[in-house]
Amino acid sequence: DTAVSQTPKYLVTQMGNDKSIKCEQNLGHDTMYWYKQDSKKFLKIMFSYNNKELIINETVPNRFSPKSPDKAHLNLHINSLELGDSAVYFCASSQVAGSSYEQYFGPGTRLTVT
């Protein structure tokens, strides 16, 4: 059983398009996160939701919009994709909001914008 799953694993698209990445966790956790790993391999937080409520919103362009329909799902929608959005995006989940401790990560979605 996959604890944190993401779809798709690979996404190749053109500049200006709108795309979504989906994330689901079956761990019963109440907090979910989106991280971005850029070309320099830095892993940086983008968003966090606790029980469908946004609790972390880093300095991310507003072309990025997370949506959490329920606490097991956190999707990431990106409008008007740009070349600089090319990266690997990881979803993660943890049990306790405000105290991340161990976060469980999905396999990542490699987004390539051409």
User: Does 112 help bind other proteins (rule: CB under 8 A)?
Assistant: no
User: How far is CA 111 from each of CA 74, 95, 101, rounded to the nearest angstrom?
Assistant: 17, 28, 27
Contact at 8 Å (CB) between 89 and 106?
A: no
As measured in angstroms, the least distance from the Cβ of 114 to other proteins is 20
Q: Give the C-alpha separation, 14 to 80, whole Å.
A: 9
Which of 55, 79, 82, 84 forms a contact with other proteins (CB under 8 A)?
55
User: Does 59 help bind other proteins (rule: CB under 8 A)?
Assistant: no
From 12-20, 35-43, 66-74, 75-83, span contacting other proteins (CB under 8 A):
35-43
User: Does 41 help bind other proteins (rule: CB under 8 A)?
Assistant: yes
Name all contacts of 47-50 with Cβ < 8 Å and 24+ positions apart: 47/74, 47/76, 49/74, 50/97, 50/98
Instruction: Catalog residues that contact other proteins under the rule CB under 8 A.
Output: 4, 31, 33, 35, 40-45, 48, 55-56, 58, 90, 92, 94, 96-108
